[in-house]
Structure 1
Amino acid sequence: MKQRIYRNYFWVALTTILIVSFVFVFSYNQTIHDQKEEGMREEAEFISALLEKQGDADVGFQAAAGKTDFRITLIAENGMVLYDNKVKDVSGMENHAKRPEILKASKNGEGSSSRISSTIQSETYYYARKLSDGRYLRLSSEGLSIWSGFVQVLPALTGIALFVIFITFLIAHFLTRNIVEAINGIDLENPMEKVVFPELGVLQKRLGFQNRKIQTQMQNMKEQEYKLTAITENMNEGLIMLDADRKIQYMNQSCQDLFEVSGSKFIGQTISGFCDSIPMQEVVESALKGNVHTAMQELDHKKVQYFGNPILENQKIQGIIILVLDITERERTERMRKEFSANVSHELKTPLTSISGFAELMENHLVAPEDVPEFAAKIHRESERLLTLVNDIIKVSQLDDKEVYYGKENIDLLSFAKEVCDRLEPMAQSRNVTVELSGDAVLYLASRQLMNDLFYNLIENGIKYNKPNGKLWVTVSEKKGHPCISVKDTGIGVPMKYQSRIFERFFRVDKSHSKQTGGTGLGLSIVKHVVEYYGGYIEIHSKMEEGTEIVVHL
């Protein structure tokens, strides 16, 4: 800003000096011209009076012409030069009839003009008067031209200009320093707190207005940024933002947790430095071409899905948004749904096929009369099996619906467990399994129906999958103020890889053994749903050929 002020002062001073100089030289030249013209007019009046009285041969005329500083020329009416006090032989001089001053004199009685020499070093002034006899008396005087006058005063003007410019720079420096100090002294947070110069008041007001406007905008931006951060950081989905150069600009916490990394160290790096998998690169490249793209990838023990979307501004790609979804649970649920549908179809088809086959044999009289009761009994057993399967499916569906209310009452869980053990005693005896019940009387507010489903399926499962002459321990206790139920057997055990799946619907570790033991394959699934209904959890401890313990915490 200082340099600009200095430049402006310099040009103003220089322009002013040049204008003043030209005006001065022009005025001075015009004054000299007027003075010369007035002097020639007076001299012309005097000489013309002599000529009018005595003629051009008169000694008085010649004497006057010889003493004057002006050049005197006597011109005939036809323009021929008759006399010139500066030229001895006038016969060789050109005709002056067309000279401007002669033309003016012939018309007006007198006339004047000036002519600048070709070298622009001097200017000649002419004055002509028409005499009574038709002749013309012309006087001329030579002086400096405007340009010559300017050149003569140029050194003085240069000195003056340098002096003025120096003074101007001093003034400019002083004023600039004061102005800059005043501007630098403005408090940008509160511009109107101190007004040094009234002239800066308008600037300070505008600064104050702009400051308030900027603060409001910054506050709005912070609020928007806070809202956006709150939304993105609380998303369950991972979010990655890239610029047009594939560099990571933002990564939310869910994405960092999904990839088990610290996202801050990847900010500013290219996406390939974070994840160089083919699915991710396909999503990025497609989005950079302006397309929405999706791809899936196996990530350790997870399965993720990428959604890439370009960010467009004025039809130009400014960046990319990548949404990362953990679809592991969705895939597992979908797999379980398909398995459930297939198992339901199979489990329903098996008893229906038996019932249909036996009924068809009896309808076509292909069964001996004495075998009809046996076939009827088989139909009855398969019908009961089918009914049990349907009831279990209904139970699981109802337990899935958390809004179903089953009622509550205080139940002594130890006594309730004894009732279930007594009911299953015939099954235990038929398989030579000894059931032992122990524990404390624990009261729990729950539904008798759901507690029956819980105990019955756990104990029945322990008996079915036990070894001959095996044992089953049922223990009811209280831990940290909550009921704890343990059912431990000496059965065949559950392989480690299947322990997380035994509570799935229709899942069986050994399908051949399951056909021998019967059941619907929904028992432990019902147990899991009952425990989840009451907000509890299940633990399983199992060793192959040693047995399994299932611990329920309610």
Structure 2
Amino acid sequence: MKRAIVKRFIVVLIVAMAISSIVISMSYYRLASHRVMEDMKPVLLLLDATIDWESSDLEKQIVEISSQMNNDYRITIIDNDGSVLADSETGNPETMENHKNRKEVKEAFQNGFGTKVRNSSTIKGSMMYAAYCSPTQHKVIRISIHHDVITDLMKMMVPSIAISLLLALSVAGVLTNKFAASVTKPILEISHKLEGIYDEKIDFNFPHYQYDELNIIARTTTDMSKSVQDYIRKLEKEKTIRQEFFSNASHELKTPLTAIRGYAELLQSGMASDTQMQKEFLGRIHSEVEEMTSLINDILMISRLETKELMPTKEMLCVKSVAEEVKKTLKPLADENNVSLEIHCCDEFVYMDRSHLQGILSNLMGNAVKYNRPGGFVQTDITMDSTSLSIRVEDSGIGIAKEDQKRIFERFYRVDKGRSKRVAGTGLGLSIVKHVTEFYGGCVSVESQSGVGSTFLVQLPAASLVQK
């Protein structure tokens, strides 16, 4: 790229300098021609004063004057009728054609002075003519000089022009090389780093370049690299979560299936001979099936919420009524664990799927009861204003460690592994809360301290809870 820039710049420079040289040469040519013509005027005036017009031999006079001028000028005397009276070079003016219609002669008779550049039929060459009409004699004195004088001057300029071109090209080559480097070096830096865009070790911070356009490219590249690396990290995280999910799901499903299989084999073998034992085994099989069904339903709900495939059955719900239903369902579990349940709720109506609102409340309140301590409390405050519906669930339970708070909304993640085995549930409750909340465009957060208790806060935008 650098070589291409330099080559094209040099080509452009050569073309520009060639055009410039032509224009300058033409201008100099015209200026030199005009200058020579102007210098011929005083010569004509001097000749008019020098020539002895009363002499009978004008020819001899002008030949002698021309020789004194080193024969640089050809001198011609023309009568008012256009006939040539004398000429310093032909020596036989009678043979020369009439000059009355020559441009410089006509201008001289009309205006006193005339000029012209043309080929001479007598001298056989390009000549510059200047004519002057003597006011006392009414005759025209014309002098001419070979046009080659101008050409010679132009030839003298050629070496200067050539040297100027070479110097200009040399300087331009150095400057162009520096300019090209100032453009290509940043581009190479950016492109080299782009090749390693998937490598987190590469630093995508670029220096400030002298061209704003390159700084824009550098900033865009930096932003793009961060987005790509964030996306890669997100993919890797999702991959890890997915692997953990399949591992946990298969483990959670394997446990009840193993139990069902064991009880079924016992029944099949006839070891459970009495009716009471058979009923007990069948009851346990039914319990395991219910647990597995609940687990599968929770997995399906999360999957549908993630893929937006779930078409919610929305209806106008009284928030307080749904909250009281959940409290009534959890009351036996709360009494069993000696935990008090309190609800402070508004009487507002929301437009949402009943299972979604129940899922948020039952999972948050249910966990608060399950992971509480005897004599503890669970307090639920539900308020609504013009901007959002807020659900706040506070408990006096075992709390959640700082390192666990970032992962509690992941599927199957359990804080207290030992206690979780003794507590009924699928391990998907908080994940369901998170996905339902995000489905309505809301957010969920937690504040907790180990051994003190936890407070969960769900906020759902009011705009997503009205019928449209």
**TM-score, length of structure 2 as denominator length:** 0.55
What is the CA-CA distance between 1:430 and the residue it aligns to? 1.3
Q: 1:4 aligns with which of 14, 25, 28?
A: 25
Who is 1:329 aligned against? 234
Alignment of 1:485-496 (within 5 A): 485-496=391-402
The 1:6/1:382 distance shift into structure 2, 3 A limit, reads: closer
CA distance in 2, matches of 1:549, 1:24: 120
Q: 2:256 aligns with which of 351, 356, 359?
A: 351
Q: 1:459 aligns with which of 365, 375, 389?
A: 365
What is the CA-CA distance between 1:352 and the residue it aligns to? 1.1
Q: 1:296 aligns with which of 174, 177, 199?
A: 199
The 1:535/1:29 distance shift into structure 2, 3 A limit, reads: closer
What is the CA-CA distance between 1:331 and the residue it aligns to? 2.8
Which amino acid is 1:437 matched to? I
Q: 1:515 aligns with which of 411, 414, 421?
A: 421
Contact residue 14 and residue 161 of structure 1 kept, 8 A? no
Contact residue 355 and residue 379 of structure 1 kept, 8 A? yes
- The SS at the match of 1:296 is coil
Contact residue 314 and residue 352 of structure 2 kept, 8 A? yes
Q: 2:269 aligns with which of 347, 364, 370?
A: 364
Who is 2:453 aligned against? 547
Who is 2:297 aligned against? 391
* Structure 1 position 505 matched with structure 2 position 411: yes
Who is 2:8 aligned against? none
What is the CA-CA distance between 1:368 and the residue it aligns to? 5.1
CA distance in 2, matches of 1:457, 1:243: 61
What is the CA-CA distance between 1:374 and the residue it aligns to? 2.7
* Structure 1 position 284 matched with structure 2 position 195: no
Which amino acid is 2:376 matched to? G
Who is 1:535 aligned against? 441
The 1:488/1:379 distance shift into structure 2, 3 A limit, reads: same
- The SS at the match of 2:254 is helix
CA distance in 2, matches of 1:497, 1:342: 22
Contact residue 333 and residue 369 of structure 2 kept, 8 A? yes
What is the CA-CA distance between 1:160 and the residue it aligns to? 8.8
CA distance in 2, matches of 1:404, 1:305: 41
Alignment of 1:177-256 (within 5 A): 244-246=184-186
The 1:305/1:15 distance shift into structure 2, 3 A limit, reads: closer
Contact residue 319 and residue 349 of structure 2 kept, 8 A? yes
Which amino acid is 2:252 matched to? E
Contact residue 72 and residue 145 of structure 2 kept, 8 A? no
Contact residue 495 and residue 543 of structure 1 kept, 8 A? yes
CA distance in 2, matches of 1:456, 1:347: 21
Alignment of 1:398-437 (within 5 A): 398-402=304-308, 404-437=310-343
What is the CA-CA distance between 1:479 and the residue it aligns to? 3.7
- The SS at the match of 1:297 is coil
- The SS at the match of 1:380 is helix
Contact residue 441 and residue 476 of structure 1 kept, 8 A? no
Who is 1:375 aligned against? 281
Contact residue 74 and residue 145 of structure 2 kept, 8 A? no
- Which of these two proteins has the greater Rg computed from alpha carbons? 1
The 1:9/1:244 distance shift into structure 2, 3 A limit, reads: closer
Contact residue 432 and residue 470 of structure 1 kept, 8 A? yes
What is the CA-CA distance between 1:28 and the residue it aligns to? 5.6
What is the CA-CA distance between 1:408 and the residue it aligns to? 2.5
CA distance in 2, matches of 1:14, 1:482: 93
Percent identical pairs in the alignment equals 32
Who is 2:134 aligned against? none
CA distance in 2, matches of 1:530, 1:9: 89
- The SS at the match of 2:343 is strand
What is the CA-CA distance between 1:528 and the residue it aligns to? 1.5
Which amino acid is 1:438 matched to? H
Give the superposed CA RMSD.
4.1
Offset from partner CA, 1:119-146 (integer Å, 9 cap, x none): xxxxxxxxxxxxxxxxxxxxxxxxxxx9
Q: Flag the structure with higher strand content.
A: 1
What is the CA-CA distance between 1:297 and the residue it aligns to? 0.6
CA distance in 1, matches of 2:73, 2:387: 110
Offset from partner CA, 1:43-100 (integer Å, 9 cap, x none): xxxxxxxxxxxxxxxxxxxxxxxxxxxxxxxxxxxxxxxxxxxxxxxxxxxxxxxxxx
Which amino acid is 1:392 matched to? D
What is the CA-CA distance between 1:465 and the residue it aligns to? 0.8
Who is 1:155 aligned against? none
Structure 1 residue runs without a partner (length 5+): 35-145, 147-158, 170-241, 249-269, 272-282, 307-318
What is the CA-CA distance between 1:385 and the residue it aligns to? 0.8
The 1:410/1:295 distance shift into structure 2, 3 A limit, reads: closer
Contact residue 75 and residue 144 of structure 2 kept, 8 A? no
- The SS at the match of 1:444 is strand
What is the CA-CA distance between 1:293 and the residue it aligns to? 5.4
Contact residue 297 and residue 305 of structure 1 kept, 8 A? no
Which amino acid is 1:296 matched to? D
Higher relative contact order (CA 8 A, sep 6+): 2
Contact residue 541 and residue 550 of structure 1 kept, 8 A? yes
- The SS at the match of 2:456 is strand
What is the CA-CA distance between 1:243 and the residue it aligns to? 5.2
CA distance in 1, matches of 2:280, 2:286: 10
CA distance in 2, matches of 1:512, 1:305: 45
* Structure 1 position 450 matched with structure 2 position 356: yes
Offset from partner CA, 1:273-329 (integer Å, 9 cap, x none): xxxxxxxxxx717x7xxxx65532169xxxx999xxxxxxxxxxxx99955212233
- The SS at the match of 2:448 is strand
Which amino acid is 2:338 matched to? N
CA distance in 2, matches of 1:305, 1:336: 29
Return structure 1 stretches of 4+ with deviation > 4 angstroms. Answer: 10-18, 20-25, 27-30, 159-162, 319-323
The 1:440/1:7 distance shift into structure 2, 3 A limit, reads: closer
Who is 1:339 aligned against? 244
Query: How many matched pairs?
Result: 300
Offset from partner CA, 1:333-371 (integer Å, 9 cap, x none): 222222222221111111112212222233233445463
Which amino acid is 2:186 matched to? R
**TM-score, length of structure 1 as denominator length:** 0.47
Alignment of 1:66-85 (within 5 A): none
Structure 2 residue runs without a partner (length 5+): 1-19, 41-68, 77-86, 95-122, 124-142, 154-181, 206-216, 461-468
The 1:23/1:537 distance shift into structure 2, 3 A limit, reads: same
Which amino acid is 1:357 matched to? G
Contact residue 296 and residue 305 of structure 1 kept, 8 A? no
